[in-house]
Amino acid sequence: MALTNAKPKDLALHVLEKLEHSKLALPIPPLTVLENLFECVFFASMRTEESDLVKVTVTLIDPQNPDPKPPRKIVPERWSSISFESPIDFSIKGLVKLSKASDPSSTSLAVYYDANGKLFIWGLIDQALHYQSFLNYESESGSEQPGLFQVSVSDIGTLDVLFDYELLATLKQNILIPRYLDVFTIGPISKILKANATSLKADIKLFLAEQHPGEAYDDWETFVDSLWIQTLSRLLLRIQKYHHGGAILISNTLTDVDVKYLITYDRLKLAVSNYAKETINNYVAETLIDNHIASGKKMMSKDWYIEESRSLLAKQGIADEIKGCISFLASHTCVDGVLLFAPDMISQGFGGVLKARKTPKKIFISPTATATPKSLLTTDPTHFGTRHRSMIAYCWNHPGSLGLVISQDGDIRAFYRIEEKLIMWENIKTQQFIKSRKLKRTAPNV
């Protein structure tokens, strides 16, 4: 549950409690160090440098032992630390200045503390690009992360603290968000999206029957579901980057919608299907080769190698196509109005005005992804802005429609009617956060 009226010291206490339950051999910093770290980064996020807002990532990492347990195999894209000739005082001014040379999409600042608890900036860490790509579903594997944890400025007064690929917490101005709701993986919204993927699943089932009858569809269904959900998550992430705000309506009807720019765009759906097919082709070819080698046979068909290479290149090309489709569709939300999708993710147009006016007297906020009745909190729909109220009215009057509203500050809220209740979910997980095995679990994350 989010904590209101929170301060950087509340974030520090929350992170310390998480770290104290970790299985790391690394020393855990004192609470005063964490408080000073988060307070400095928090206030730096409110400054500008050359008229630009400050965006920066800080990694807490020991300069005396930055890489205590390197892997046996060092991949080319693995991070490295680059030391300054002399340490720099950790201050708001220093962070603001260095932020211009440390774009968080590629770089983080290496920070640590001395025996007296005084923080200092001792260098830079490169190759952060691969970390961000994995978080945003743009690569299939994640790179190993340096140091104890990272704290990133994602917006004014907004700090994200990550441990490996797990989000420990977000401080958003005065609200501490200990976790985001994974509504796309579990709960009613997840069921809606998986049902919407029916046509994609039918396409893949037919493909397997015709091209790879030895492959069971059941073994691939989870992959298809996750690919479908990742695509929607990536679209939302792309919309967030515009800081314009926007809305997506997934519905089987255009009733009560005045669409200014009517189009039919099915390229994203087709690309996702083709990506799944080439993934299967590549897996089957690799499996044939691996099994043949394991059997000890010396001769092998060159066609298997050709197919493995062909499918891998095709898969990579389609991944770029999907990225382009997502960028194309996300840009449509910069026009005032709603971006419209049929349930099968074929775009119906953009600049849509929702004309339904009848609203429920109250709506229900779900603090869990599963929207269990006992957990629901009531609120007045008139407390929200025009964009939210119009989506509330539409989803109330057209059951089965899923509405997603993205605020200018990046907040995402989902709306869906369940029986006689209009449910709203907020603090929705869109990035690929993964629970770290180094942290002990104290409560289920639903």
Task: Express each pLDDT in 400-416 by its tens digit.
Answer: 999 999 998 888 999 99
How many of the other CB atoms lie within 10 Å of CB of 369?
Answer: 22
User: Helices 267-294 & 218-242, crossing angle to 10 degrees?
Assistant: 130
Q: Has residue 141 got a pLDDT over 80?
A: no
Cβ-in-10-Å burial (0-12, 13-18, 19+) of 291 comes to: exposed
Q: Which of 43, 80, 75, 77 is nearest to 61 (CA)?
A: 80
pLDDT of residue 445: 40
Give the C-alpha separation, 73 to 446, whole Å.
36
pLDDT of residue 433: 64
Domain membership flag for residue 2: no
Query: What is the tally of structural domains in the chain?
Result: 2
pLDDT category of residue 175 using cuts at 50, 70 and 90: very high
Q: Which of 59-63, 136-140, 361-365, 441-445 has the lowest mean pLDDT?
A: 441-445
Domain membership flag for residue 53: yes
Residue finishing a domain among 177, 197, 221: 177
Q: Write the DSSP assignment of 60-107 as a string of letters.
A: E--TTSS-SS--SS--TT---EEEEEEEEE--HHHHHHHHTT--TTT-
Q: Which of 142-146, 238-242, 361-365 has the lowest mean pLDDT?
A: 142-146
Q: Which of 83, 69, 89 is nearest to 125 (CA)?
A: 83
- Residue 206 and residue 157 share a domain: no
Q: Has residue 19 got a pLDDT over 50?
A: yes
Q: Which of 322, 158, 171, 167 is nearest to 243 (CA)?
A: 158
Q: Which of 285-289, 290-294, 355-359 has the lowest mean pLDDT?
A: 290-294
pLDDT of residue 249: 97
- Residue 379 and residue 258 share a domain: yes
- Residue 231 and residue 144 share a domain: no
Domain membership flag for residue 117: yes
Domain membership flag for residue 446: no
Please compute the mean of the pLDDT values over residues 363-391 and round it to a whole number. Answer: 94
pLDDT of residue 424: 97
Top-confidence residue, 54 or 140: 54
Phi, psi of 339 (to 5 degrees): -90, 125
- Residue 224 and residue 137 share a domain: no
pLDDT of residue 217: 95
Dihedral angle computed from the Cα positions of residues 351, 133, 142 and 149, in that order, rounded to the nearest 10 degrees: -100
Residue finishing a domain among 177, 210, 244: 177
Domain membership flag for residue 437: no
- Residue 262 and residue 170 share a domain: no
pLDDT category of residue 130 using cuts at 50, 70 and 90: confident
Give the C-alpha separation, 418 to 163, whole Å.
36
Task: Express each pLDDT in 35-63 by its tens digit.
Answer: 999 999 999 999 987 778 889 999 999 99
Q: Has residue 440 got a pLDDT over 90?
A: no
Please compute the mean of the pLDDT values over residues 286-315 and round it to a whole number. Answer: 87
Give the C-alpha separation, 179 to 400, whole Å.
27
Domain membership flag for residue 183: no
Please compute the mean of the pLDDT values over residues 136-154 and round it to a whole number. Answer: 82
Q: Has residue 372 got a pLDDT over 80?
A: yes
Q: Which of 93-107, 201-215, 259-273 has the lowest mean pLDDT?
A: 93-107
pLDDT category of residue 435 using cuts at 50, 70 and 90: low
pLDDT of residue 443: 45
Q: Which of 134-143, 251-260, 333-342 has the lowest mean pLDDT?
A: 134-143
Q: Which of 4, 56, 357, 302 is nearest to 174 (CA)?
A: 4
Biggest alpha carbon distance in the chain?
74
Residues in the chain: 446
pLDDT of residue 446: 41
pLDDT category of residue 417 using cuts at 50, 70 and 90: very high
Q: Is the dihedral of CA 310, 313, 316, 318 positive or negative?
A: negative
The domain that holds 318 is classified in CATH as 3.40.1700.10
Domain of residue 355: give its range.
Answer: 188-425
pTM of the model: 0.86
**β-bridge partners, 342:** none
- Residue 80 and residue 48 share a domain: yes
Please state, rounded to an integer, the average pLDDT across all residues of the chain: 90
Domain membership flag for residue 431: no
Q: What percent of the chain has pLDDT over 70?
A: 95
- Residue 79 and residue 209 share a domain: no
Please compute the mean of the pLDDT values over residues 221-234 and round it to a whole number. Answer: 94
Domain membership flag for residue 143: yes
Q: Which two tokens stand for residue 439?
A: 């942290």
Task: Express each pLDDT in 163-174 by its tens digit.
Answer: 887 888 999 999
Question: CA of 341: how far to CAs of 182, 345, 346, 347, 404, in Å?
Answer: 22, 5, 6, 4, 11
Please compute the mean of the pLDDT values over residues 198-219 and round it to a whole number. Answer: 95
End-to-end Cα spacing for the chain = 11
- Residue 171 and residue 206 share a domain: no
- Residue 275 and residue 156 share a domain: no
Q: Which of 298, 35, 306 is nearest to 151 (CA)?
A: 35
Written as one letter, the residue type at 94 is G
Please compute the mean of the pLDDT values over residues 246-261 and round it to a whole number. Answer: 94
Pairing mode, strands 81-89 and 52-53: unpaired
Residue finishing a domain among 177, 211, 227: 177
Q: Has residue 142 got a pLDDT over 70?
A: no
- Residue 254 and residue 355 share a domain: yes
Top-confidence residue, 51 or 181: 181
Written as one letter, the residue type at 403 is G
- Residue 408 and residue 328 share a domain: yes
The domain that holds 62 is classified in CATH as 3.40.1700
Q: What percent of the chain has pLDDT over 90?
A: 71
- Residue 236 and residue 120 share a domain: no
Task: Express each pLDDT in 23-34 by its tens digit.
Answer: 777 789 999 999
